Structure 1
Amino acid sequence: MDYVIPIITLIVGLVGGFFIGVFYLRKQLTKMQSDPQMLQKMAKQMGYNLNGKQMQRAQQMMKNQPSTAPGASGARRKKK
Structure 2
Amino acid sequence: MQYVIPVITLIVGLVGGFFIGVYYLRKQMEKMQSDPQMLQKMAKQMGYNLNNRQMQKAQQMMKNNPQFSGKKKPGGGKRK
Shorter-chain TM band = 0.7 to 0.9
Aligned to 1:10: 10
* Structure 2: tracts of 5 or more residues without a match: 69-75
1:27 corresponds to 2:35: no
Moved over 2 A (4+): 75-79
> Structure 1: any 5+ residue segments left out of the alignment?
69-74
Residue of structure 2 in register with 1:55 after alignment: 55
Q: CA deviation at 1:77?
A: 5.2
Higher normalized contact order (CA 8 Å, seq sep 6+, divided by chain length): 2
Counterpart AA for 1:24: Y
Q: Describe the SS at the equivalent of 2:66.
A: coil
Considering only aligned residues, what root-mean-square deviation do their CA atoms show, in Å?
1.7
Match of 2:79 in 1: 78
Quote how far apart the aligned CAs of 1:76 are. Answer: 5.7
Distance 1:77 1:7 in 2: 33
TM-score (ref. length: structure 1): 0.84
Percent identity at matched positions? Answer: 79
Q: TM-score, normalised by structure 2?
A: 0.84
Q: How many residues align?
A: 73
